[in-house]
């Protein structure tokens, strides 16, 4: 996350010929920050910002129209809508404009404008507090999962806390496409991670409700394989 942020900020600095730009500097006020949305991910080019106006330039590379929202903290979670963009059609671009005060926010991409969306946390600081911002990541931990001809490994005995964000890094070690579905306790799909043959894919899932969640792997001609994840 930090290396990608540094590279993007460096590119911004080179393009705009800014004189006081370092690897850990926030995005300049009023700048356009790229956001790449898919059906399973929401990548914000930088997660450090100065207070002020910003435009999130969204490119939808998914198969569904995507709504993009900016949430502020309200109570124990990020539920306050600060700004939202109209649907961004597949293959199209759209802008989400907001004026940011210091604090933490979450950018949410919602395929089909449903659910809580896939979220990335951003930090707004008027002093470029890099150490503090680095502690606030877009997810709480990463779980590496391997999909093989025999099933799924790396997903045994998983336990999470309500509200925890887990990034699933999926490696498909088969010669056929595989999909990892994350189902909430009601059996509804909360996330879908598609991995091409011998490829990798990832997605961040927020486990918003206590109970038994299901990780379900499916693919061409293969019987579905499931694992349980307990949220408590």
Greatest pairwise CA separation for the chain in angstroms: 58
Distance CA 65, CA 1 (A): 26
CB neighbourhood size of 225 (10 A): 18
User: What's the pLDDT at 135?
Assistant: 41
CA distance 21 to 29: 13
Q: In this structure, are residues 179 and 191 in contact, taking their beta carbons and an 8 Å threshold?
A: no
pLDDT single digits (tens) 82-103 = 999 878 999 888 999 999 998 8
Helices then strands, counting H and E runs in the chain, come out as 2, 18
Q: What is the spatial distance between Cα 120 and Cα 4, in angstroms, rounded to a whole number? A: 14
pLDDT, tens digit, for every residue of 102-142?
A: 889 999 999 988 888 888 988 888 764 433 444 444 677 88
Q: pTM surpassing 0.75?
A: no
| 164-200 tens-digit pLDDT | 888 888 888 988 888 888 999 999 888 888 888 888 8
């Amino acid at each position: 996350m930090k290396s990608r942020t540094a590279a993007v900020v460096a590119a911004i600095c080179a393009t705009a010929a800014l004189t006081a730009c370092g690897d850990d500097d926030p995005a300049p006020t009023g700048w356009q920050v790229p956001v790449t949305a898919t059906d399973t991910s929401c990548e914000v080019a930088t997660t450090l910002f100065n207070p002020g106006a910003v435009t999130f330039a969204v490119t939808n590379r998914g198969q569904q129209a995507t709504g993009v929202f900016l949430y502020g903290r309200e109570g124990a979670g990020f539920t306050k809508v600060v700004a939202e963009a109209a649907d961004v059609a597949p293959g199209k671009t759209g802008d989400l404009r907001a004026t940011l005060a210091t604090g933490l926010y979450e950018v949410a991409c919602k395929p089909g404008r449903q659910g809580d969306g896939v979220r990335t946390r951003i930090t707004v600081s008027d002093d470029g507090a890099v150490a503090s911002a680095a502690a606030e990541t877009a997810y709480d931990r990463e779980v590496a999962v391997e999909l093989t001809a025999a099933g799924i490994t790396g997903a045994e005995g998983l336990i999470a806390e309500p509200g925890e964000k887990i990034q699933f890094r999926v490696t498909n070690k088969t010669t056929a496409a595989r999909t990892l579905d994350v189902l909430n306790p009601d059996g509804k799909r909360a996330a879908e991670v598609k991995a091409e043959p011998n490829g990798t894919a990832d997605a961040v899932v927020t486990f918003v409700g206590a109970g038994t969640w299901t990780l379900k792997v499916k693919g061409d001609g293969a019987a579905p394989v499931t694992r349980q994840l307990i949220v408590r």
